Amino acid sequence: MAESRIDVRAALFEGDLSAQLARPHSPEAVSLYWLGQAGFIFACGVRFWLIDPYLSDSLAEKYLARNSPIPE
């Protein structure tokens, strides 16, 4: 059986995720973007796959109190 090789690299980017996704992606590589929690975007060429995307901040106000100090 022929040996397969997968190269994995991590890279940080600055700016908006939508701007990053608008850039061309190599059809010979898969880019992985973490959306937070369990959400990911896989990009390969002109195709994108979303895994468990939560693209709303509707719960932000509900959980805002968790960032508040504990009352004494």
pLDDT tens track of the chain, all 72 residues?
678 776 777 778 888 888 888 988 888 888 888 887 788 899 988 999 999 887 676 666 666 665 556 566
Interatomic CA distance for residues 39 and 48, integer angstroms: 13
DSSP summary character for residue 61: H
Cα 67 to Cα 29: distance, rounded to the nearest angstrom: 39
Alpha-carbon distance of 55 to 63, in angstroms, equals: 16
CB 25 within 8 A of CB 44: yes
Domain positions in the chain = 20-67
Q: Are strands 31-36 and 39-44 parallel, antiparallel or unpaired?
A: antiparallel
Q: pTM for the whole thing? A: 0.61
